[in-house]
Structure 1
Amino acid sequence: MGIDWDVVIIGGGAAGIGAARRSADHGLSTLLLEASQRIGGRALTVNIAGHALDLGCGWLHSADRNPWVGIAEASGFAVDRRRSAWNQQYGDLGFSQAEQEAADEAYAAWHERLVSEPTPRDCAADALQPGGAWNAYLQAISGYISGASLERLSVADYLAYDRASTRYNWRVPAGYGTLVAAGLPATVALRVATPVEAIDLDVDGVSIVTRAGSITARSAILTVSTSVLAGGMIRLPASLDDWRHAAGSLPLGRNEKVFLEIVGNSPFEPETHVIGDPHDARTGSYYIRPFGRPVIEGFSGGEGARALAESGPAAGFVHAVDQLAALFGSEVRATLRPLAVSDWSRMEHVGGAYSYALPGCAGARDRLARPFDQRLFFAGEATERYDFSTAHGAYQSGLRAAEEVIAALGARAS
């Protein structure tokens, strides 16, 4: 069998781009296959009405150790290091100072129970206070962080991320998605709109079946989402059933964004934030005028994102405007215009936001990250033990998988 490439990378998100950069650095002939019409994966910046809007990831989390910061600066992208306004409720609107303190205390007590009183079921909901006044608020926070309710969340997995996070969160004014897409080296061959239908293992390497024909390689790196892996969109050998099962234990959460444009005079101050209704687990979180732009970025997670996906964009815009009008006054309705909305759960080659581990399944991340037969390698944010759910975790996983490929090919050649 003739071999076309040293390595074929399947998936052009942050993990695929990380793997491509490392493979290219080592001189491997590298092809990146992307199912959609663009690269970037769950990092997607769209330019609408002159505004760069991140429909996917938007913040460089753990920014003081996030490799995308260095990539941004080396590539000429500006990095905004201002502290986020997430923990503020502008003007204490709809959420008094006393209520904020009570909610913070409830969160701290819940978190302490996670750490000091491990539950046999490894289920984050078990640490809720029965009938607690702020349980809906805690569910909303879980939706923002993990994209899922606490009943579906592994304590061990949640704490692994929480302990590793440095709490530094910076931004790229040009858009995180723009930065990620610009990270692909020009020396790497790219084919977009090329979904992979099957992967077969041959004597000499890997055969990758696409609609345009088969491609052969000495090795392959699979970086697609857990939804794609578990859903069987790519036919894999039966010997990879354990990898599929691991992916099924790491489902993608639900997170969606709604963007509104501000027109005319309004009470909305730059770089401020409000939560719509802290007593509703489905509430949106609203970042107001980021970078001073006349935009409001609404963020929904868990059940809130599910409701948005099921009700559709028009209802999502109405819900966001209703929540903002309840806080700022009905006159703001005349100043808000629909701008953009995400729909990650319905994207065929994605299927959701980012991964979380079901109770008892935190170890699935290590199982998913294992190479198979030193020919097929796995990357993606879900394969990261501590930095899952982030673009930098995805990137780091791509570097790791590429290093595994380099070592395997070197071993075969010796």
Structure 2
Amino acid sequence: MMSLPSEVDVAIIGAGAAGLGAAHALERSGLSVLVLEARDRVGGRGHTVMAAPNIAFDLGCGWLHSANRNSFVGIAEQLHFEIDKTRPPWREQSFDAGFPLRERLDFIKALDAFYDRAEEAAKSGRDSAASSWLDPGNRWNPMIDALSTYINGCELDRVSTLDMDAYEDTEINWRVRRGYGALMAAYGALCPLALNTQVTLIDHSGARMRIETSRGTLTAGKVIVTVPTNLIADEAIRFHPALPTKVDAARGLPLGLADKVMLALDEPDALPKDGNLRGATMRTAMGSFHLRPFGEPCIEGYFGGSFARALEDAGSGALAAQSIDEIASLLGNDYRRKLKPLAESRWAHDPFACGSYSHALPGHAGDRAILAAPVDGRLFFAGEATSANFFSTAHGARDSGERAAGEVILSK
């Protein structure tokens, strides 16, 4: 481990997608740049592990959302990462088990009507909780709320209608065969990095900014902060002088929670490749299951919101146990012997994330612009939470890093 330099022109806090995007954008700026990362790896909330010899498992982001506008698509092509364009399994369910086609179509009708009402409400410019636009008494409301826990990381009563409407989705979603996190690791391989370097204080009171870290102190002329909102909100990184406007904005943009689990599957041929399994359970506390992603002998389970948090709090293995229970209830008890836990994520318990991706609380849709705004022309902010339209995504984070780097160059 090399010692930290005593000074640098630009310090970037965090080596997730935003930090890496900023570092790449500053490559030819003539400025000395260093990315300070608390973890022992790059990628942040993008992290691929090999759950089994042929099963790459993205613990965090796993889909190239809005792929026709996603900057990581071009990066994947440049770095020779295979892109899989198989349709995602979310909307139509290709395996009929406990959720007959007639009921699935009725659910989709109710879901589309909810989004139409929320979109119409957003035209007024007045914010509200997205749950306000559920049809009172509709039998599908708990399942619509369950979808919110996967999409937003929380239930609809904690989601801003204006923020939900601002999100842009082209509905083109692809995957990286070797893993999105693996792509980020390759993207960051040549960036100037200081790993295992936790930043605790950014003192911007003097002519140069002083950055206190777990490995010593350095100074910088400019700083780009890309850490998740929960770390700013909880003041895990402090600012001197204090920046209460930034802290308040971060508190209005908390990270929701979305966790995943990977299960090995014996006798896989009975299930469709890239299928989806979800029961008509009429409850919000439920998982969604991707059957045989990439055709591999496995099932990927997905849990969100308060239910995911409760499963994390129950301890290691709880996500897998819940998944097996739900799958067995849908496909038959015989599946218990066919499933074996391989890996699971626990983002709420990750001290450098404390969650998965941001959502704006009702009344706080404007906090994204507040968080993104520079301070004194030398302290800049990036990350998925600062993206106006692609928040909660890796490409939204990467593009925000590039935006912040542009602000640094213009401020020279």
Aligned residue among 356, 360, 364 for 2:359 = 356
Contact 1:256 1:308 in 2 (8 A): no
Match of 1:412 in 2: none
Contact 1:276 1:324 in 2 (8 A): no
Aligned residue among 148, 151, 175 for 1:145 = 151
Contact 1:160 1:386 in 2 (8 A): yes
Could you list the runs of 5+ residues in structure 2 that have no partner in the other structure? none
CA distance in 2, matches of 1:113, 1:264: 44
Name the one with the larger helix percent. Answer: 1
Contact 1:43 1:55 in 2 (8 A): yes
Please tell me the root mean square deviation across aligned C-alpha atoms, in Å.
1.5
4+ residue stretches of structure 1 with deviation over 6 A? none
User: Counterparts in 2 of 1:155-234, with a 5 A limit?
Assistant: 155-161=161-167, 164-184=168-188, 186=190, 188-234=191-237
Pair 1:135 & 2:138 matched: no
Deviations 1:208-264 (A, max 9, x none): 111221111110100000000000101112441100110000000011001100124
CA distance in 2, matches of 1:300, 1:68: 25
CA distance in 2, matches of 1:102, 1:289: 26
CA distance in 2, matches of 1:90, 1:185: 39
CA distance in 2, matches of 1:356, 1:244: 15
CA distance in 1, matches of 2:127, 2:13: 35
| Alpha-carbon shift at residue 88 of structure 1 (Å) | 2.5
| Distance 1:175-1:381 versus aligned 2 partners, 3 A rule | same
Aligned residue among 130, 134, 151 for 1:124 = 130
Aligned residue among 279, 290, 295 for 1:287 = 290
How many residues matched? 405
CA distance in 2, matches of 1:277, 1:260: 22
Contact 2:127 2:162 in 1 (8 A): no
Q: Which one is further off, 350-359 or 299-308?
A: 299-308
CA distance in 1, matches of 2:391, 2:127: 22
Match of 1:369 in 2: 372
CA distance in 1, matches of 2:288, 2:316: 17
| Distance 1:136-1:127 versus aligned 2 partners, 3 A rule | same
Pair 1:404 & 2:410 matched: no
| Alpha-carbon shift at residue 121 of structure 1 (Å) | 5.3
Aligned residue type for 1:99: E
TM-score by length of 1: 0.95
CA distance in 1, matches of 2:288, 2:268: 22
Contact 1:43 1:56 in 2 (8 A): yes
Partner SS, residue 92 of structure 1: coil
User: Counterparts in 2 of 1:272-351, with a 5 A limit?
Assistant: 272-351=275-354
Using the aligned pairs only, state the percent identity: 44
Partner SS, residue 183 of structure 1: helix
Match of 2:106 in 1: 102
Aligned residue type for 1:227: N
Aligned residue type for 2:118: L
| Distance 1:350-1:15 versus aligned 2 partners, 3 A rule | same
Could you list the runs of 5+ residues in structure 1 that have no partner in the other structure? 410-414
Match of 2:44 in 1: 41
